Amino acid sequence: MTYAILDCYTDEPAGLGVPPYLGTYPRYIYGYLKKQFPNEKIYYFTIDDLRLWKKWGMKDPNENLPKSKTTNITVYNLTKHHQKIAEILSDETTEIIVILGVHVPGKYLSAMPGTLKEVTPLIADLPCKKVLTGPAIFGTQLFGGQFTERIDKTVFETRAYNFNFAEIASLSLEGTEIVEQIPWMKMLEIETGKGCNVGKCSFCTEPLKSKVLYRN
Ligand code: SF4
């Protein structure tokens, strides 16, 4: 088995996973896979890598960009293995785990989160199992005040990786290896609590995702 984590970025009240931030989802899932399947390969890709392959034919619009032109932030955050993404996802990967979901949309300066509408057709033809996780499985939409996106169940299996803090204590450490595949200067989110019994904010799924737990 070869696993690929596809980070389409996450933004929720409880955590930011839009570059230069690395959310907790990719790090924990990487750690979980490494622990469960120590002999298997685990690749980390971003939606930017996928766009570069599928939308730009691997021609990076930011390469040799004159100072007078604006950086294309949709393909700005390229990972270590981006040049081999076609080969890895088409020939090697047996399961791709797509992390996606924006609940508190903001204005992003150096990245653009992927949506289900965008990513679903880009990966539908890959010959591997496709798992959707992250805030998206509770509903997602890139712009506030709109209906949530529909999950295409013919493409995705949904899976919640809901680890408790005892599990996170080891998975987060195992998962730090993921940074070796991320060339840009990053900030790693840490988690001190889960769930919420304070607010009843209509846009937020934190109370649905977990009972209230705090790190020791
Ligand atoms: S429901 Fe709780 S976690 Fe979510 S935004 Fe409101 S106060 Fe914050």
Tell me if 58 is assigned to some domain. Answer: yes
- Give residue 149's pLDDT: 82
Top pLDDT among 45 and 206 is at 45
Q: Are 5 and 23 in contact (CB under 8 A)?
A: no
- Give residue 112's pLDDT: 96
Across 85-90, average pLDDT: 98
Q: Which atom of ligand 1 is nearest to the CA of 104?
A: 5
**What's the structural domain count of the chain?**
1
Across 113-131, average pLDDT: 97
**ipTM for this model:** 0.98
Top pLDDT among 145 and 172 is at 172
- Give residue 173's pLDDT: 95
Tell me if 215 is assigned to some domain. Answer: no
Tell me if 100 is assigned to some domain. Answer: yes
Establish whether residue 199 lines the binding site of ligand 1, counting it when its CB lies within 6 angstroms of any ligand atom. yes
Residues 6+ apart with CB under 8 A from 161: 25, 28, 29, 32, 133
Tell me if 205 is assigned to some domain. Answer: no
| Ramachandran assignment for 101, one of left (phi > 0), alpha (psi -120 to 50 degrees), beta (any other) | left
Tell me if 51 is assigned to some domain. Answer: yes
Tell me if 209 is assigned to some domain. Answer: no
Distance 121 CA to ligand 1 centre (A): 32
Token duo for residue 127: 């010959």
pLDDT in tens, 16-72: 999 999 999 999 999 999 999 999 999 999 999 999 999 999 999 999 999 899 999
| Ramachandran assignment for 145, one of left (phi > 0), alpha (psi -120 to 50 degrees), beta (any other) | left
Tell me if 208 is assigned to some domain. Answer: no
Nearest CA to ligand 1 atom 1: 199
Q: Are 10 and 99 in contact (CB under 8 A)?
A: yes
Ligand 1 pocket test, candidate residues 104, 192, 204, most atoms within 8 A of CB? 204
Establish whether residue 196 lines the binding site of ligand 1, counting it when its CB lies within 6 angstroms of any ligand atom. yes
Under DSSP, the state recorded for 188 is E
Nearest to 48, CA basis, from 80, 87, 1: 80
Beta strands in the chain (DSSP E): 2-12, 15-17, 21-22, 41-46, 95-102, 129-133, 157-158, 187-188, 193-194, 213-214
Distance 13 CA to ligand 1 centre (A): 6
- Give residue 142's pLDDT: 62
What is the pLDDT confidence band of residue 201, given thresholds at 50, 70 and 90? confident
pLDDT in tens, 94-108: 999 999 998 887 889
Q: Which atom of ligand 1 is nearest to the CA of 205?
A: 4
Residue ranges making up the domain that contains 81: 2-191
Across 189-216, average pLDDT: 88
- In this predicted structure, the answer to whether residue 161 has a pLDDT above a threshold of 90 is yes
**Could you identify the residue written with the tokens 């690395």?**
22
Name the average pLDDT for the chain. 93
Beta strands in 15-155 (DSSP E): 15-17, 21-22, 41-46, 95-102, 129-133
Nearest to 156, CA basis, from 126, 122, 129: 129
Distance between CA atoms of residues 29 and 129, nearest Å: 16
Tell me if 70 is assigned to some domain. Answer: yes
Sign of the alpha-carbon torsion through 172, 98, 187, 181: positive
